[in-house]
Chains A and B, each alone.
Chain A
Amino acid sequence: MAVNFKDLTIKIIKIIFLAFVAAIFLLPVYFTFSVSISSKARINEGAIVPDFYIGHWIEITGGYWKTGLINSVIVSIACMGLALAVSLPAAYIFVRYRFIADKHLFFWFLTNRMAPPVVFSIPYLMIWRGLGLWDTQWGLILAYMVFEVPITIWILASFLASIPREIDEAALIDGYGFRGLFFKFILPLIRPAIGVAMFFAWLFAWTEMFFASVLTSAVAKTIPAQLLTALGKVGWGVEYGPAAAAGFVTIVPGLTLLYWARRYIVKGFTFGRL
């Protein structure tokens, strides 16, 4: 009985802790939703309890939000697919093969993320205009690749690095070709990493605001850039309601993706390794 009691106590503490964490993380999300359905006067009073004013939501359903949403979906899904297609082989090569200055090249990739985007924006704008890529979806996708591919390579490589080399050797000795080795052994082993990498690639394209507002004007504008423009129109910093509504709209597709990514990540290796 004593052991059971101890287990029960641990379980209860665990549940209380998780409920506490969930509540803390939910509070700002609830508050954002609450602000989005509160009138201006109610927002000034605190907006903890909304008064179900739908004006902000009507305001953000204007025509250009629809194009923004479509653009966002196209750009972020293309980024996700392209980044993964490029970085999977690259990460494998970085982990398994040695070549001149490989470590330096690998670290240099990450430095792409260190400089503030403002530094890059002007040269990008000029080159993209010259190439006719400005204000096109492909232009935006290409620009995001520069920042996303290094991150996805790092994610995949960090997971690949913990897979022992013996697995490759065993598979090759057993008569599998390189293709068999890669698709039958390596890919299933880094399934969780692929889930995370896809989520990262999608996330950064989906929430990126600065490049989206510099490299597009009307045709290829994504939702966050649209948000910035809309806030600029109504004088942002004052109009909290529409900002909250638009912010809330942007997280909805992510929720579905998250649920799916989680299943991909936690599949777990019940079969062990070889």
Chain B
Amino acid sequence: MRNVFVGVLHFRDMFHDYRFRDAVLRSITFAGAALGIELPLGLGLAYLLRRPSIINSIITALVALPTLFPPVTIGMMWLLMARRNGPVGMIMNWLLGGTYDPFGNTLHAWGTVVLMDVWHWTGLTFLVCLAAVSGIDESYVISARTEGATRWQVFRYAEFPQIVPPLTFIALLRLIDALKIFDEVYILTGGGPGLDTEFITQYIRTVGLEQWIIGYASAMSLVFLFTVLILSWAMLMVLTGGRGLIE
């Protein structure tokens, strides 16, 4: 082992590395799925639970409760739950007629991983949405109602513009965190079946800390960091109409 300068060798390798490409695509798909469920669910729940009452407070606490668990614990508990005799395994087997197999079936593995993430993080999107919805200036809503707007129009033109900045923030945060996900999925599926749930963080870890090809792992981290950067920037620009969060 000599220390030699390899130039762009690692970056050239990445172009031919299908495992790298697939892992990045998987991470992006996963982030899309997680965001696509967590944001509408969080916003919907915020609208349902915006009025102060004891029942609403209890449900708020329940939905936000999972965010308080350390990720390692969550991975372990879901591993137990997804087994044939665990609660999730039993319910899924009942729904799917006994064919549920998160450790052998790609689709079931993905479903379980996404469900775990939704359970873990919807609380966070929900809290931000709740704060955003409670901060809506009612005077716009009232004047829109007086003009005879439908419920959808009120939401789209009077309420939504006011809650865009907080929604942008939580969407960005969840995007970044979902792309970075490691502990829970690693413990739950270990990347399996095959490599079907291997996300980029896990591949970098495998290359860097198991095969000890530190240079290649670092190069991949760098490329991945820029991927996250570009995706977040693009998302910020799309959500705020090209203005950015601060004008």
> What is the interface of chain A, defined by CB distance below 8 A to chain B?
14, 17-18, 21-22, 24-29, 31-32, 35, 43, 45-48, 94-95, 102-103, 106-107, 110-111, 113-116, 119, 151, 154-155, 157-159, 161-162, 189-190, 192-193, 195-196, 199-200, 203, 206-207, 209, 224, 227-228, 231, 236-237, 240, 243-244, 246-247, 250-251, 254-255, 258-259, 261-263, 265-269, 272-273
Contact = CB atoms under 8 A, between A and B. Distances in A.
Nearest to A119: B221
B246 A161 contact: yes
Given A159-B165, A207-B71, A262-B61, A102 B246 contact: yes
Given A25-B122, A192-B130, A196-B128, 4 more contacts: A48-B90, A107-B244, A154-B172, A247-B70
By secondary structure, the B interface counts as helix
Contact of B48 (A18, A106, A196): A18
Nearest to B60: A262
Interface string B180-208: 10100001000000000000010010000
Nearest to A113: B176
B48 A14 contact: yes
B57 interface: yes
Contacts of A102: 246
A192 B135 contact: yes
A196 B70 contact: no
Contacts of A95: 246
A151 B59 CA distance: 26
A31 B229 contact: no
Given A25-B119, A114-B229, A196 B73 contact: no
Contact of B77 (A14, A32, A154): A32
A27 B245 CA distance: 37
B78 A206 contact: no
A175 B74 CA distance: 54
Contacts of A240: 76-77, 80
8 contacts: A25-B63, A25-B65, A32-B69, A107-B233, A111-B229, A116-B204, A154-B172, A273-B139
Contact of B135 (A25, A116, A193): A193
B131 A265 contact: yes
B169 A25 contact: no
A227 B119 contact: no
A103 B73 contact: no
A205 B86 CA distance: 31
A236 B71 CA distance: 14
Interface in B215-243: 221, 225, 228-229, 232-233, 236
Given A46-B86, A115-B225, A192-B131, A207 B69 contact: yes
A84 to B, nearest CB: 15
A268 B70 contact: no
Given A159-B131, A161-B247, A207-B69, A116 B176 contact: no
B225 A155 contact: no
A158 B59 contact: no
A158 B66 contact: no
Nearest to A104: B244
A103 B246 contact: yes
B221 A116 contact: yes
B169 A255 contact: no
Contacts of A31: 77, 80-81, 86-87
B184 to A, nearest CB: 12
Contacts of A262: 57, 60-61, 130
B83 interface: yes
A148 B178 CA distance: 18
Contacts of A207: 67-71
Contacts of A43: 80
B153 interface: no
Contacts of A231: 72
Nearest to A23: B62
Contacts of B71: 207, 209
A31 to B, nearest CB: 6
B93 to A, nearest CB: 12
